[in-house]
Every structure is written in C-alpha cells, then in structure tokens.
Amino acid sequence: MKYYLTIFSCLVLIGCSSSVRTTPNKCGKLPSNTYWGTFENQFSSKINGYEYTGTLFSYDCVLHSFITKKVLFDYYGKWGDSFYLSDERHPIMIWKNRDILRDGSSLTILATGEEDYGNMNGSMMIFDREGNDMLLLGAEKRKELIEFVGTLIKRNDSKKRDFFEAY
C-alpha cells in the first residue's frame, strides 16, 4: 500500500509541475516608476457616435496596465467619459478639453492598457479639437506629448490609491 501511495504522490507532483507555464517574462523585474520601451499601433473604433482613428501609443513593461489611466487621473482628476470595446474587460477612459502642454490647445486623451502573461503596457491616443491625431508620426507636438505622459509614469506615486477607489 505504501508503494502505491508513493507512486501516486510522484505522479501528482509530476502532473502539477508540467502544468506550470514556461513562457518567459519579457519584462522581468522593473522598478515601479519606469517603462521598458514604447511601441505604437493604428486604432479605429466608433465610440458614442464618434469615430476615433489614430495612433495608439504604448509604454511597454509598466507597473500595471492601468498606469496611463492612473497617472492621468492623478494629474487631471476623474475622467469625463469611458467606454468598453466589445472584446475588452476594462474601459477606455476619456479626458476631454485638456491643455496638456499648457500652450492653450484643447486636447482629448483616451487612455487604456493591456496585460498578458509576462507583459503589461499602458496606452494613449490624443486628438486636438478638430479630431487630428496628435501622436501621428510627424505631428508637431508628438514628442512633447509622449515625453509628458512618460514623465507622469516615471513620477507615479504608487502609494496614491485614489484612482483605484474611483475606478
């Protein structure tokens, strides 16, 4: 009987250990106020009767997928609108009429994020009053806008929890 119990225990251990994911963590262990890199994709979706088409700019390997939402909340306060895409669990948050660079321009910011095993990113889209993509390659204020939000991520106070209470 002891022999069968030993064999059964070994089989259970082998079975459990083989079910462990072996995909490497792309980001590794990073400090909480940083990102590993950036990337961008084109995004298009009709939201509340308005067509949002433009550059979805992402900060890769961030603390959590809510990071762009959180740092924008910490800076501007609560978002004005939010919506869910049909295949997403978390909403995209929208801040309208924000003077991001303090130059008198009124911009709309959409913030989202994505997480999968071993990787998290925080993303944004920014449009001017006429709906022009401000993060499009060659856009006049692209670099400053990307640096501004990147700086907010680097200055994030992870102990500040107001966003998660409002969310």
pLDDT at 31: 67
Tell me: the pLDDT tens digits for 126-151?
999 999 999 999 999 999 999 999 99
pLDDT at 113: 92
Distance CA 156, CA 122 (A): 13
- 50-60 and 37-47 beta bridge pairing: antiparallel
pLDDT at 20: 31
Tell me: the pLDDT tens digits for 75-86?
999 999 988 877
Intra-chain end-to-end CA distance of the chain, in Å: 56
CB contact at 8 A, 125 and 55: yes
Find the farthest-apart pair of alpha carbons in the chain and give their distance in angstroms, rounded: 81
Q: Is the pTM for the entire model greater than 0.85?
A: no
Residues with pLDDT less than 50, the chain: 1-24
pLDDT at 25: 59
Strand locations in 15-106 (E): 37-47, 50-60, 81-83, 92-98
* Tokens (6 digits) for 136: 């499009």
pLDDT at 29: 72
pLDDT at 30: 66
